């Protein structure tokens, strides 16, 4: 499963790229019994990106995330193939 990750401002500087694709294992069937493979999550995408780009580790804890342009507040939010995750560091200004 592939998700596009786009970086903005300080996250872009830390990543060294504007955007990239992150591949995660595809989810298996959800059975409700705990035996199926869980769906990939925003947290898993972020962890995979940080593993690929170690400079992100200092920025990511302060970032906000948008999944297909909708704010995400929980790292266990599921992601689907082809979605776009935006990584937004805090912005100053008014």
> Pick from 42, 4, 51, 50: which is nearest to 23 by CA?
4
In a domain, 94, yes or no: no
In a domain, 63, yes or no: yes
In a domain, 47, yes or no: yes
Q: What are phi and psi of 64, to 5 degrees?
A: -105, 160
Its pTM stands at: 0.85
What CATH number corresponds to the domain at position 14?
A: 3.10.20.30
Per-residue pLDDT of the chain (94 residues; tens, 9 = 90+): 999 999 999 999 999 999 999 999 876 555 444 445 578 999 999 999 999 999 999 999 999 999 999 999 999 999 999 999 999 998 765 5
In a domain, 93, yes or no: no
Residue carrying structure tokens 């937004």: 88
- The residue range of the domain holding 27 is 2-88
**H-helix or E-strand spanning residue 67:** strand 64-67
* Total domains in the fold of the chain: 1
């Amino acid at each position: 499963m592939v998700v596009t990750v786009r970086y903005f401002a300080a996250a872009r500087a830390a990543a060294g790229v504007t955007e990239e694709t992150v591949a995660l294992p595809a989810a298996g069937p959800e059975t409700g019994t705990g035996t199926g493979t869980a769906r990939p999550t925003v947290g898993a995408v972020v962890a995979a990106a940080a593993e690929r780009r170690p400079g992100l580790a200092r920025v990511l804890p302060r970032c906000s995330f948008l999944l297909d342009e909708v704010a995400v507040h929980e790292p266990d939010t599921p992601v689907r193939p082809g979605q776009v995750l935006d990584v937004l560091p805090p912005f100053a200004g008014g």
